[in-house]
Structures are given as structure tokens and as C-alpha cells.
């Protein structure tokens, strides 16, 4: 639903539940933060029960990549803009500054929370940087967002459109090589798109080789000359279309994983999944859909990671969810690298399945875990796991950029909670284009269905 119509739904749903996040110590500035966001660091999480101050406030890629090459922005049809300041908007849209700021709609007023209501409702937005690559490129060139973020740099992207007789090919295996060295491997999605990445800071050759099973090899131009008009910042616009001759795999099974931060600031999100899981499962469940729930906190807590295998026993999954509660944490970063290393391991997933994982979190990884995170995201892309970040309340800009990089590099959507539900603390407005406000439930169900085909 769009922002202008969500008020109608508000008459039917609960509003505020728990006040949510607490705070302790602000995160240190990272290279992923721009000048503006550095002055808007989110309050770090405090001991449980201590309130925190809230932080200050498709068009898909087609075979014709000319728009991206020209840096054209592509946005959604929603009624609300992301939190771009005038300078950021100018850099992204390449238009003169307006004399007056754009109108911002007043917050939606919701009725008091009904504790007897059946549904626990969270609202969210969704964005896909791969499908809006011109927009993303202009943000990077303008210095509005910066990478790498905790070791993840999606700016060295090679987009590949896999087709057969003019139709998109799903589950095609694409790989990028520097000589005989494999750099990145990915699996094409329902639109036939596969995204491969090379590290702009590494000593890769200026020409790389793109290999797709069932298609001829392609020579890739990986030269990255500094753009003097954009402070030397550049973003790869490499894009290729390949014609496949052989068949690709079609999978009947779909594996759906939830990865949940259970530290002290995540009460709302834990309660949401506990209440809404059965409804999500009911809408997407079939004999060939299996689920896994996994939890993490941080060093010094009752546990760091707690992982569970995939199962079709929904009662067992619900029981595992219901046993969890928010506790621990205390500093800002959490054990994101640890949980991704465990869950994005090849021995966790089936070879012959569609794969999607939702990472529901509100804090970034610890510094110094860059190689661990790179390996986890590379494994996810190689296996065809679409890692969908769901960024919760009281998150900072560095959490947003890490989540967006992980989504880009695994061919997934970036999801973020919004304030429209009235639940929890403030939610950071991401630096994106127009988007629609929807129920988080609907976004999760749609993403699962798209992956399952």
C-alpha cells in the first residue's frame, strides 16, 4: 500500500506495543558514514530496560542497460522520498537545487494499541539498488554514501542478463575469472539477472572473463579510471547479455531462513516474528517449503549464535521462536559476522533448492571482521542465497550501508522498518528514492514467493 492510503489500514490494526530499543555508547565513525550521517550517529544500545533517545530522523533492469550507462535514476511509484538532503538530491538527480524543500507528509496518526488484537503489525519499505543502479551510482559519486562497508564493496559490479530465445533464464551459474582465478560466482534470478563483483581496490586485471554455463565466454572491461568530476569516485557500469543453449535447473524445494538479532533492543521485532510466523508460513507453506530460525547476540551474552536446521515442522519452528527473548548486547556492534559465517555455509543449504534468508537486525558487525563477512557474502551469492536485510529501529547509517551492500551482492532486496506502525523507537530513513510503505508481513511473503517462483 502507498503512504497516502496506510491510514485506512491503521483503523484496523494495533499501533504501539513496546518502546523497544535502549542505549549505551555511540558507535565509532566508520568509512561507510558520510559527513552528514557522522553527525547523526544513533544512540548505542543500553542495558535492558533503560530507554534510549531515538535517532534524528520497479522498474527492473532490462536487456537495455543504456539508462544505467548514462547514470539515469529509476525510482518506484511510491509517494514518499527517502531522507535525502538537498545536496544529496542534487547529486542523484543532477538538477539545480530547489528554493524550497519538498513537502513532507505529516506522520500518520494511529489509534491506541489494542492488546487484545490478534495481529502484531510492523510497517516497512523495500528498495533494490541493482534495479536502480544509475541512482546508486550517483549517490556514490556524489559522496552521499561510501563503500566499502565492513569489507563489502558493491561498486565493482558486473551485471549479466541470461536469456534463451529472448526469455530470461533462471538458475544459470555465472562466474567471473581473473585468468584462472575465480573472483565471484552467482546464480541468476527469476529475471535472468546475475550480479558478479570484483574488488576495485585489489590488483585485478583490466580485462576479466565472464563464464556462464551453456554460453560463450565474454571478455569484461574492468578498468576503473578515476572520475575527476566526482572526487575520483567511480562505479562500474559493466553489463552484458548472454545467450544460453542448454537447460538450467528447476527446483521444487524452497528453503526459507530467518536470522534474528535477539539482543536487548530487539523486543518489538522478536515479538513480531513470534506472532506473525504462523501467518507467513500459512501463506507460503507447502510440502516443498522448509524453514530455519537462527539467533545471535554477542560475546559475553548467554550465547553468541544459536542455529537450527531446516524443517517442515512448523510447530517446532514456532516453539523455537517462542523460547527466545530480548537480552544482552550492551555495546553497539553485534555478532553479525559470526552468525553469517555459520548460516551462509554450504553445508547448511541444499544444492537443489531455491534459497532466501532474512537478516532481521538493528546494529552493524564488529570492526576487524571484514574477511569473515566477505567470505560469508561470497558463499551466499555462489549458492544462490538471496540475503534480505530487514533493518529495525534505532539503526545508524553504517547499518544501512552494510545491509544494502549485502543485498546488492546477493541479488536481494533491502528492507527497512518505518515509523508508520507507531511501534517501537524511530526508524532511520534510508538514502533512497521513492518507495511504498507496506506491512512487513506482505514484503516477506512476496519475497519468498518470488524466490519460490
Which is more confident, 413 or 246? Answer: 413
Mean pLDDT of 269-282: 94
Say what the pLDDT of residue 226 is. 63
> What is the β-pairing status of strands 289-296 and 305-306?
antiparallel
Say what the pLDDT of residue 9 is. 37
Q: Directed axis angle between helix 133-141 and helix 86-93, to 10°?
A: 120
**pLDDT tens for residues 42-51?**
444 443 334 3
- Highest average pLDDT, of 23-32, 109-118, 382-391, comes from 382-391
CA–CA distance, 320 with 132 (Å, rounded to integer): 38
Say what the pLDDT of residue 11 is. 33
- Within the chain, all domains assigned CATH 2.60.40.1120 are found at 153-243
Residues 6+ apart with CB under 8 A from 108: 3, 6, 7, 10, 420
**pLDDT tens for residues 135-185?**
999 999 999 999 999 999 999 999 999 999 999 999 999 999 999 999 999
**pLDDT tens for residues 68-90?**
443 333 333 333 433 334 444 34
Cell of 126: 523495500
- Give the angle 135-401-45 at the CA atoms, nearest 5°: 145
- Average pLDDT over the chain, rounded to whole? 80
Which is more confident, 453 or 17? Answer: 453
CA–CA distance, 451 with 288 (Å, rounded to integer): 13
Say what the pLDDT of residue 425 is. 78
**pLDDT tens for residues 324-353?**
999 988 788 999 999 999 999 999 999 999
φ and ψ of 359, to 5 deg: -100, 105
Lowest mean pLDDT: which of 100-104, 125-129, 400-404, 420-424? 100-104
- Give the angle 231-235-236 at the CA atoms, nearest 5°: 145
Q: Is the pLDDT of residue 368 over 50?
A: yes
**What's the pLDDT band for 394 if we cut at 50, 70, 90?**
confident
Mean pLDDT of 131-137: 98
CA–CA distance, 272 with 284 (Å, rounded to integer): 18
Which is more confident, 109 or 340? Answer: 340
CATH architecture for the domain at 153-243: Sandwich (2.60)
Mean pLDDT of 232-248: 91
- Within the chain, all domains assigned CATH 3.40.50.410 are found at 1-152+249-453
CB atoms within 10 A of CB 211: 16
Mean pLDDT of 8-24: 35
Q: Which CATH superfamily is domain 1-152+249-453 in?
A: von Willebrand factor, type A domain (3.40.50.410)
Amino acid at each position: 500500500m502507498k503512504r497516502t492510503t496506510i491510514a485506512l489500514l491503521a483503523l484496523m490494526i494495533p499501533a504501539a506495543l513496546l518502546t523497544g530499543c535502549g542505549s549505551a555508547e555511540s558507535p565509532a565513525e566508520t568509512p561507510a558514514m558520510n559527513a552528514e550521517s557522522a553527525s547523526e550517529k544513533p544512540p548505542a544500545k543500553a542495558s535492558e530496560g533503560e530507554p534510549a533517545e531515538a535517532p534524528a530522523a520497479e522498474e527492473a533492469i532490462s536487456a537495455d542497460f543504456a539508462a544505467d550507462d548514462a547514470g539515469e535514476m529509476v525510482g518506484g511509484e511510491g509517494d514518499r522520498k527517502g531522507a535525502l538532503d538537498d545536496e544529496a538530491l542534487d547529486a542523484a538527480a543532477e538538477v539545480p537545487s530547489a528554493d524550497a524543500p519538498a513537502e513532507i507528509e505529516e506522520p500518520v496518526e494511529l489509534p491506541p494499541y489494542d492488546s487484545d488484537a490478534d495481529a502484531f503489525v510492523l510497517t516497512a519499505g523495500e528498495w533494490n539498488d541493482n534495479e536502480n543502479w544509475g541512482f546508486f551510482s550517483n549517490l556514490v559519486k556524489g559522496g552521499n554514501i561510501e563503500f566499502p562497508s565492513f569489507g563489502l564493496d558493491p561498486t565493482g559490479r558486473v551485471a549479466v542478463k541470461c536469456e534463451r530465445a529472448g526469455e530470461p533464464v533462471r538458475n544459470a551459474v555465472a562466474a567471473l575469472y581473473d585468468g584462472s582465478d575465480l573472483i565471484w560466482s552467482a546464480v541468476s534470478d527469476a529475471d535472468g539477472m546475475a550480479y558478479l563483483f570484483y574488488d576495485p581496490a585489489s590488483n585485478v586485471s583490466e580485462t576479466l572473463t565472464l563464464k556462464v554455463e551453456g554460453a560463450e565466454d565474454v571478455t569484461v572491461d574492468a578498468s576503473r579510471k578515476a572520475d575527476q568530476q566526482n572526487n575520483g569516485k567511480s562505479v562500474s557500469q559493466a553489463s552484458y547479455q548472454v545467450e544460453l543453449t542448454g537447460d538450467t535447473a528447476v527446483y521444487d524445494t524452497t528453503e526459507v531462513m530467518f536470522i534474528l538479532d535477539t539482543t536487548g533492543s530487539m523486543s518489538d521485532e522478536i515479538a513480531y516474528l513470534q506472532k506473525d510466523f504462523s501467518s507467513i508460513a500459512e501463506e507460503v507453506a507447502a510440502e516443498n517449503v522448509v524453514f530455519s530460525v537462527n539467533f545471535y547476540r554477542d560475546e559475553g551474552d548467554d550465547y553468541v549464535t544459536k542455529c537450527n536446521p531446516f524443517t517442515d515442522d512448523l510447530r517446532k519452528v514456532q516453539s523455537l521462536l517462542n523460547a527466545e527473548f530480548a537480552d544482552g548486547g550492551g555495546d553497539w556492534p553485534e555478532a553479525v559476522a559470526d552468525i553469517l559465517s555459520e548460516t551462509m555455509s554450504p553445508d547448511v543449504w541444499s544444492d537443489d533448492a531455491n534459497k532466501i534468508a532474512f537478516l532481521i537486525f538493528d546494529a552493524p558487525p564488529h570492526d576487524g571482521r571484514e574477511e569473515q563477512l566477505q567470505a560469508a557474502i561470497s558463499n551466499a551469492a555462489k549458492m544462490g542465497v538471496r540475503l534480505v536485510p530487514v533493518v529495525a529501529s534505532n539503526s545508524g547509517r553504517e547499518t544501512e550501508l552494510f545491509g544494502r551492500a549485502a543485498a546488492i551482492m546477493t541479488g536481494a532486496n533491502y528492507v527497512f522498518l518505518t515509523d508508520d506502525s507507531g511501534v517501537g523507537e524511530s526508524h532511520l530513513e534510508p538514502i533512497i528514492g521513492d518507495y511504498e510503505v507496506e506491512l512487513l508481513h506482505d514484503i516477506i511473503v512476496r519475497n519468498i514467493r518470488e524466490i519460490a517462483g
